[in-house]
């Protein structure tokens, strides 16, 4: 592909020279774009070669840098939102106001709306992907979900809120079902948002309600569904007003529920601990070094794993990547993205940001908590920001951040993808440990020409723990409870081909992924009280203690994994419950 592109560039320049045709402005723009793409392709080829030559440690084989697999050649939509359900299926959404998609609604169903592009639309703008069959089923969305937010409720229902145009105050729900059934979206006729929500963030609370924070021109928060303890009206939130700037760099704020029940909220370059019950800021943190990190500057954030080994008392936040201030206001400059990750222990008395340098500059990167408690940074670009056509130089190599390695030894560059995923891309952890990648549309409408066309393919990245060389350590969960009660012990039966050692059991939430941030993402590492080998060889019964409170693990469904010598099992779904 690189050789062919090089020859096309050479031939086009040769023809121009031979016939001495004057270059028009559009010609120059077109050739300039092709030259940039040409340079970028050769740069990515060089990165791939250097990765293979230098990124391996002693005794590490190429397969240990992960592998890629194309799952669906055309999903019908470009997915800017994604969420994995408790049945293992994946809900994918785009906006409705793009005109026709490439997948029809079933049975000749059509949608009549006030969309500006297509009033009578017989195509789907949401699909359900089934990883077991690599198939998609069209779903029906009535109102525009562009840049909306969401989170799963305790019963496993996905609540999706806001959007644009007629969808800006809508509340939608998707109650998942087995892949063989035909569940679909329902738009509420009773619930409506108190404030328009476009680029907001949702977080599930310990009482099972969701708090919805911010959005464009929305310096407030509200609860959904409203309860007796919370007003149905929006509550002014000065932190969002204070962190606003000319780029609106406080959109899609990073929100993490802390084990003490408060919220850590990050917007632009500032962060606080917020007691939502008392409506009070109880702690403020130093400004993060570097530029802004939220939309449209496109950094990402995770709360690092919560550990039973320290009684869930230590909380660390990791923020990686982002754009320079001004990259969104002057997108033609294509300013380099950030090369830094910043880590802070929010539970320290005097917390400070500790900086680490990533192997490559990145904005619009998605951060995924892996079953092993490491972090995968994937997707994105090396220059620009979020927005229509604002980014160039896609970053094809994921990077693994080893959470508990020594500083300076935490980053490992993984095998490169062949699919650029820029603005409006998603990344989701599947039950089997793969990372599902979908979306990428840097255009206002579906556009299949140019440097970075609308992306309809779905692929998956398999991290090194899925390499065949790790199969001997891979455990399998065979017996487990469907529901666990806070603080109560329970048992899990696990088998492994080889001896069990260094076993951990982790709960991983199913977040709502959009715009380089996964709302509600958390990993809780549980206390393992004992391991007993049962009669059968290589079969073990593990005693585990459930999370101590809904502040540590909000009520709902989690993927539970057993990790043996750094190799995770496939996940099973369990529900955290308050009990009777």
Statement: residue 238 has pLDDT above 80: yes
- CA torsion sign for 184, 187, 190, 192 is positive
Statement: residue 58 has pLDDT above 50: no
Confidence bin at 113 (pLDDT 50/70/90): confident
Question: Which DSSP string do the residues of 179-244 spell out, in sequence order?
Answer: TTS---EEE-SS---SS--SS-EEEE-TTS-EEEE--TT--EEEEES--TTS-SS-EE-HHHHHT-
Residue 44: the pLDDT is 47
Residue 230: the pLDDT is 57
Beta bridge partners of 529: none
Residue 484: the pLDDT is 97
> pLDDT by residue (tens digit) across 173-220?
999 999 999 999 999 999 999 999 999 999 999 999 999 999 999 999
Lowest mean pLDDT among 44-48, 145-149, 565-569: 44-48
What six digits make up the tokens of 144? Answer: 């525009």
Strands 254-257, 263-267: pairing is antiparallel
Residue with tokens 């502040």: 551
Residue 187: the pLDDT is 95
How many CA atoms does the CB half-sphere of 284 hold within 13 Å? 9
Statement: residue 412 has pLDDT above 60: yes
Statement: residue 39 has pLDDT above 50: no
Residue 440: the pLDDT is 97
CB atoms within 10 A of CB 392: 20
- What strand order describes the sheet that includes 280-284? 254-257, 263-267, 270-275, 280-284
Residue 397: the pLDDT is 98
Statement: residue 62 has pLDDT above 50: no
> pLDDT by residue (tens digit) across 423-444?
999 999 999 999 999 999 999 9
> pLDDT by residue (tens digit) across 121-139?
999 999 999 999 999 999 9
Confidence bin at 475 (pLDDT 50/70/90): very high
CB atoms within 10 A of CB 447: 16
Lowest mean pLDDT among 38-47, 94-103, 560-569: 38-47
- Predicted TM-score of the model (pTM): 0.89
Statement: residue 1 has pLDDT above 50: no
Strand positions, DSSP E, 360-455: 366-369, 375-378, 381-383, 392-394, 399-401, 411-413, 425-429, 435-439
Residue 33: the pLDDT is 41
Lowest mean pLDDT among 210-224, 262-276, 475-489, 527-541: 527-541
Residue 443: the pLDDT is 93
Strand positions, DSSP E, 269-325: 270-275, 280-284, 300-303, 306-307, 316-320
Helices within 322-383 (DSSP H only):
none
Q: From CA 507, how far away is CA 520, in angstroms rounded?
A: 13
Q: Which residues contact 172 (CB under 8 A, 6 or more apart)?
A: 141, 143, 145, 159, 160, 161, 185, 186, 187, 188
Crossing angle of helices 25-54 and 2-19, rounded to 10°: 150
> pLDDT by residue (tens digit) across 381-410?
999 999 999 999 999 999 999 999 999 999
Q: Which domains does the chain have, with CATH numbers?
A: 2-54 (no CATH), 63-466 (2.130.10.80), 470-577 (2.60.40.10)
Statement: residue 566 has pLDDT above 80: yes
Is residue 91 within 8 Å of residue 128, measured between CB atoms?
yes
Taking alpha carbons only, the member of 520, 518, 568, 574 closest to residue 546 is: 574
Is residue 130 within 8 Å of residue 105, measured between CB atoms?
no
Question: Which DSSP string do the residues of 443-456 spell out, in sequence order?
Answer: SSS---SSSS----
Q: From CA 111, how far away is CA 117, in angstroms rounded?
A: 13
From residue 221, how far is each of 164, 200, 266, 272 by CA, in Å? 18, 9, 14, 15
Three-state DSSP at 26 gives helix
Taking alpha carbons only, the member of 320, 324, 319, 321 closest to residue 336 is: 324
Confidence bin at 580 (pLDDT 50/70/90): low
Statement: residue 19 has pLDDT above 50: no
Statement: residue 244 has pLDDT above 80: yes
Confidence bin at 228 (pLDDT 50/70/90): low
Residue with tokens 């704020």: 253
Beta bridge partners of 455: none
> pLDDT by residue (tens digit) across 303-354?
999 999 999 999 999 999 999 999 999 999 999 999 999 999 999 999 999 9
Residue 270: the pLDDT is 98
Residue 42: the pLDDT is 45
Statement: residue 243 has pLDDT above 90: yes
Residue 491: the pLDDT is 97
Q: Which residues contact 107 (CB under 8 A, 6 or more apart)?
A: none
Q: What is the mean pLDDT of the chain?
A: 89
Q: From CA 483, how far away is CA 489, in angstroms rounded?
A: 12
């Amino acid at each position: 592909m690189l050789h062919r592109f090089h020859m096309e560039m050479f031939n086009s320049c040769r023809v121009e020279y031979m016939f001495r045709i004057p270059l028009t402005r559009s010609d120059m723009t077109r050739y300039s774009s092709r030259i940039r793409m040409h340079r970028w392709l050769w740069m990515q080829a060089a990165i791939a070669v250097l990765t293979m030559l230098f990124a391996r440690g002693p005794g590490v084989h190429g397969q240990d840098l992960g592998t890629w697999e194309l799952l669906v050649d055309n999903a019908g939509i470009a997915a800017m939102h994604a969420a994995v359900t408790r049945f293992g299926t994946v809900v994918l959404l785009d906006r409705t106001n793009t005109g026709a998609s490439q997948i029809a609604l079933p049975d000749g169903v059509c949608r009549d709306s006030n969309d500006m592009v297509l009033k009578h639309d017989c195509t789907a703008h949401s699909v359900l992907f089934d990883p077991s069959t690599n198939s998609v089923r069209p779903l029906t969305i009535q109102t525009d979900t562009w840049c909306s937010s969401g989170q799963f409720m305790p019963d496993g229902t996905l609540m999706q809120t806001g959007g644009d145009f007629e969808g800006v105050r809508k509340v939608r729900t998707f109650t998942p079902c087995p892949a063989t059934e035909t569940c679909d979206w329902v738009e509420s006729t009773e619930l409506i948002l108190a404030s328009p929500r476009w680029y907001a963030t949702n977080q599930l609370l310990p009482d099972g309600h969701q708090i919805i924070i911010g959005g464009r021109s929305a310096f407030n928060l509200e609860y959904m569904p409203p309860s007796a303890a919370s007003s149905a009206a929006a509550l002014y939130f000065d932190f969002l007003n204070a962190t606003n700037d000319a780029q609106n760099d406080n959109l899609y704020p990073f929100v993490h529920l802390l084990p003490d029940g408060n919220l850590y909220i990050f917007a632009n370059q500032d962060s606080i601990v917020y007691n939502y019950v008392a409506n009070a800021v109880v702690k403020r943190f130093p400004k993060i070094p570097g530029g802004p990190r939220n939309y449209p500057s496109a950094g990402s954030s995770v709360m690092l794993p919560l550990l039973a080994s320290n009684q869930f008392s230590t909380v660390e936040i990791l923020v990686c990547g982002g754009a320079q201030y001004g990259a969104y206001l002057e997108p033609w400059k294509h300013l380099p993205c950030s090369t830094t990750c910043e880590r802070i222990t929010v539970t320290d008395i005097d917390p400070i940001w500790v900086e680490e340098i990533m192997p490559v500059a990145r904005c619009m990167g998605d951060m995924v908590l892996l079953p092993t408690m490491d972090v995968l940074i994937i997707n994105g670009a090396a220059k620009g920001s979020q927005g229509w056509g604002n980014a160039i130089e896609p970053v094809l190599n994921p990077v693994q951040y080893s959470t508990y390695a020594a500083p300076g030894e935490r980053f490992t560059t993984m095998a490169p993808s062949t699919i650029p995923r820029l603005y409006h891309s998603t990344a989701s952890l599947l039950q089997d440990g793969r990372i599902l990648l979908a979306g990428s549309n840097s255009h206002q409408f579906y556009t299949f020409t140019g440097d970075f066309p609308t992306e309809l393919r779905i692929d998956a990245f398999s991290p090194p723990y899925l390499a065949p060389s790790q199969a001997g350590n891979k455990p399998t969960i065979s017996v487990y409870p469907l529901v666990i009660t806070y603080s109560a012990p329970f048992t899990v039966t696990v088998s492994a081909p080889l001896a069990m050692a260094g076993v951990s059991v982790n709960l991983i939430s199913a977040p709502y992924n959009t715009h380089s941030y996964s709302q509600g993402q958390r990993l809780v590492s549980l206390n393992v009280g004992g391991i007993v080998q049962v009669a059968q060889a290589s079969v073990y019964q593990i005693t585990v203690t459930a999370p101590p409170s809904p502040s540590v693990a909000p009520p709902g469904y989690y993927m539970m994994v057993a990790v043996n010598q750094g190799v995770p099992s496939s996940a099973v779904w369990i529900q955290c419950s308050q009990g009777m």
